[in-house]
Structure 1
């Protein structure tokens, strides 16, 4: 399914896989629902962003 998401976003499949890996490293529990054919977050989680300009 990362291939479908990548196509919709106009990026390479590996980019989507890397996003999933990064989100999981930040504590996200990403699951796939076969009935709905979609990924979802199993539970909510916090992300801290630091932007330097």
Structure 2
């Protein structure tokens, strides 16, 4: 069962954080979002949770 699906997400402030990010998360699956400080990890999670 597909719990979360996101296609072609992009976000930028004064600079581009990320572009064309797609994600599918299925039941009983776990993932890790990894990257350097300031790379947009928290912003991506906020977009996925519809807070942004």
TM range (shorter): under 0.3
**Structure 1 or 2: larger helix share?**
1
Q: TM-score if structure 1 supplies the norm length?
A: 0.24
- Bigger relative contact order, structure 1 or 2 (CA pairs below 8 A, ≥6 apart): 2
Q: Which has the larger radius of gyration?
A: 1
